[in-house]
Structure 1
Amino acid sequence: MIAAAKITLLALAILLLIATVLPFVRSPYWWVRMFDFPRAQIAVGMLVVLGLYGIVNLGVAQAKPYEWVVFALLGLGTLYQVARMAPYTPLASVQTVDASDGVDRERRLRFVVSNVLMENREIDRWVRVVRAEDPDVIAAVETDAWWAEQIREALEADYPHAIEAPQDDTYGMLLYSRFPLLDAEIRHLVEDSVPSIFTRAELPSGDTVQIVLLHPRPPRPDIQQNSTWRDAELVLAANEVQDLDPPIMVAGDLNDVAWSRTTRLFQELSGLLDPRIGRGLFSTFHADHWYLRYPLDHVFHSDDLTLVELRRLDSIGGDHFPMLIELALEEGREREQDTPDAEADDREVAEEMVEDAAEEKAEETSAEQHEREREDQ
């Protein structure tokens, strides 16, 4: 019995170590990228295996040399997983500084971003949660025509400015604002079926804040969908942001975790700050399973914006929690904030991601063309 337990624990230890090492591989395959997500779960699993193995052995003195090696690696793996998440805890220094006391309300932007879950029909619950926060701008993704109609009816009296791109494939997005929305564009950075919104919100002070709303495709094991499209969209969005005039805010369900290589690359290429660093994980998915939650919904911003408030909101009946952020425009405080910057190697990796997406798109287009030609024969 003890021998069987030890073999089982050793097998689990090896699997957890593989799950820790796989994200080092620069590959878009879903079975690699999926292990970017559960760092907390892997760390807890490692601690549990270590504890159980200690109990089974009744002390490390009975462990064999190869077992020492495996469980020393397991301990190092636990430390590594914790270290990757540590910046998103109050133990780290904040990347976004708090707004000054008494900053002019007319130079603030209060924003809610929410993945509604397209099949979710609890519109009253969504409206109640969002309205309770009194936001200036509301972004909703994974929205179809039904959601667009329902939200429009509920909000248009107070939020007369809107950009709507509803779709029935879970990639629709909507943006509603109290403030005028200038130079509004619905763009398709990588795929014709995946929109993004670019616009500027005009604050009561007369200042404008550039808003970019994203919702790229995720890596999905159920349909063997790799991360190629998501990675390329984040890189292209970061490149676009570099050419925009600040202040800038990028938000959305990026289908990526805060600590991943791709999210870090997005920050370094765009030069935007993450207000969660030094404050918390703010895990938004999955709303129904506390043991499987990841920070998938993001807000990044330029260094002339400071933080008034950041909070995860209550459940809206879908699989994501909404996020609330309030930012203040404070020129002159840029030096207080550590702006990320990309190195030459990072830019090379980014170029490769875009090239991979272009090649995959060309292959898909060619395959579709051949299929049409075969059908016409």
Structure 2
Amino acid sequence: MLRILVFALAALAATGTALSLLTSYRWYIRMWDFPRLGLMVLALIALVLAIPILSGWARAIVVAAMLLVVGWQGFRIYPYTPLAKTEVAQAVINKENCISAFSFNVLQTNRDYQRTIDLIDREDPDILLLLETDEGWEKALKPVIDRYPHRQSAPLPNLYGLIFLSRLPVEDAEITWLIDTETPSVFATISTGAGAKFRYIGLHPRPPQPGEDTAKRDAEIAIAARHAKLTDLPVLAMGDFNDVAWSRTSQMFKRIGGYLDPRIGRGLYATFPANLPGLRWPLDHLFMSPDFTLVQMKVLENVGSDHLPVAATVCLAPRAAKVLNDEPEKPDAADRKDMILSIRDGKKAAIEEGTASGEKAPKP
């Protein structure tokens, strides 16, 4: 019985790791981007059990395979641990240029509105991005919404509604449908208290799941990367990307957009699933151009959603930040090709499904 358990654990860890190496939009392949920590734990358990339980070639093969799995998964996760070097400096530079931002997938079916309202009241962010908001959520949040002078909302019944709020001056906030008519995104030009301008991007594409491959998701992420690349302003990107930080698509997004990730060297900041602390993945993101420093970033408590909220305070200080921060990793030809193909294939998938929006991304 224990032998069967060892083989089952080893097969699952090895198969998931092998599938995660493939380049594909298929949901049953891309889903293996997510549980890297879980696969590494399974491989460690199989490794520890294999040594006393198996023998001969069976033990040698399982031990070797599990060492490879642990090594590979550990390599992918390592940057998101305190053992790695940070790439975003922690510093307060000119408080008038510091911004507090909050992003939360509320879970549309979660009707415990008050817990979310109380959390927002406590955190009191300058910029607020709420996802999966329908008309019920918009109505319940009216006291919060009314406090913010700049508002954009797209209440939807399909798990992809969005509310964007800012107390900071906003020039041209726009909710747009980058690929299809079902998943809105928000783009805005915002000014700090001292008048420094930056671009804000809020995303919530669809996740890989049965019947939903990742072509459209990857296209939305690629368009946002291209937008950041083309704009002359600093950029702050947040949201539930339905993708993990270490995936091929997120790494392409980071390099093409010239972003830094404040989680690198600090921790996973895992947010989903909220009710399984040991098995969470970092689905809710904060990326920034190298013009920002980090004051703090935190994952907040569970208030009834399947996601945990993310709150951060950053300071826009281009000259100082570019000295204190690491240089963004440069994209290569493979990244540029991946971006172009992702946008093309995502648009094609939306057309084939009859959901194409026909819209273009806002001007950088």
Task: Answer yes or no: same fold by TM over 0.5.
Answer: yes
1:12 aligned partner: 9
2:34 pairs with 1:44: no
Cα deviation 1:42-76 (Å, max 9, x = unaligned): 1111111112222324xxxxx21243023211112
For residues 347-358 of structure 1, what are the structure 2 equivalents within 5 Å? 347-358=336-347
Instruction: Select the residue among 163, 170, 173 that pairs with 2:152.
Output: 163
- Superposition misfits of 4+ residues, deviation over 6 angstroms: none
2:55 pairs with 1:67: no
1:288 aligned partner: 275
For residues 1-377 of structure 1, what are the structure 2 equivalents within 5 Å? 4-57=1-54, 63-100=55-92, 103-157=93-147, 159-221=148-210, 224-332=211-319, 333-335=321-323, 336-365=325-354
1:372 aligned partner: none
Q: 1:363 to 1:155 in 2, by over 3 A?
A: closer
Aligned to 1:81, the other structure's residue is in SS state helix
**Runs of 5+ consecutive residues of structure 2 not aligned to the other structure:** 356-364
CA distance in 2, matches of 1:130, 1:340: 34
Q: Give the C-alpha shift of residue 279 in structure 1.
A: 0.5
Provide the TM-score with structure 1 as the length reference: 0.90
CA distance in 2, matches of 1:126, 1:364: 35
| Conservation of the 8 A alpha-carbon contact between 1:13 and 1:71 | no
| Conservation of the 8 A alpha-carbon contact between 1:162 and 1:181 | no
CA distance in 1, matches of 2:217, 2:94: 37
Q: Give the C-alpha shift of residue 131 in structure 1.
A: 1.9
Aligned to 2:336, the other structure's residue is in SS state helix
**RMSD, matched Cα:** 1.5
The amino acid of 1:143's aligned partner reads T
Q: Give the C-alpha shift of residue 107 in structure 1.
A: 0.6
The amino acid of 1:136's aligned partner reads D
Aligned to 1:326, the other structure's residue is in SS state strand
2:360 aligned partner: none
| Conservation of the 8 A alpha-carbon contact between 2:50 and 2:62 | no
CA distance in 2, matches of 1:123, 1:208: 33
| Conservation of the 8 A alpha-carbon contact between 2:16 and 2:32 | yes
| Conservation of the 8 A alpha-carbon contact between 1:246 and 1:304 | no
Aligned to 1:132, the other structure's residue is in SS state helix
Q: Give the C-alpha shift of residue 126 in structure 1.
A: 0.5
Q: Give the C-alpha shift of residue 155 in structure 1.
A: 4.0
| Conservation of the 8 A alpha-carbon contact between 1:46 and 1:74 | yes
The amino acid of 2:225's aligned partner reads A
Which structure's CA Rg is the greater one?
1
Q: Give the C-alpha shift of residue 15 in structure 1.
A: 2.5
The amino acid of 2:229's aligned partner reads Q
Q: Give the C-alpha shift of residue 88 in structure 1.
A: 0.4
The amino acid of 1:25's aligned partner reads L
**Percentage of pairs with the same residue:** 36
Provide the TM-score with structure 2 as the length reference: 0.93
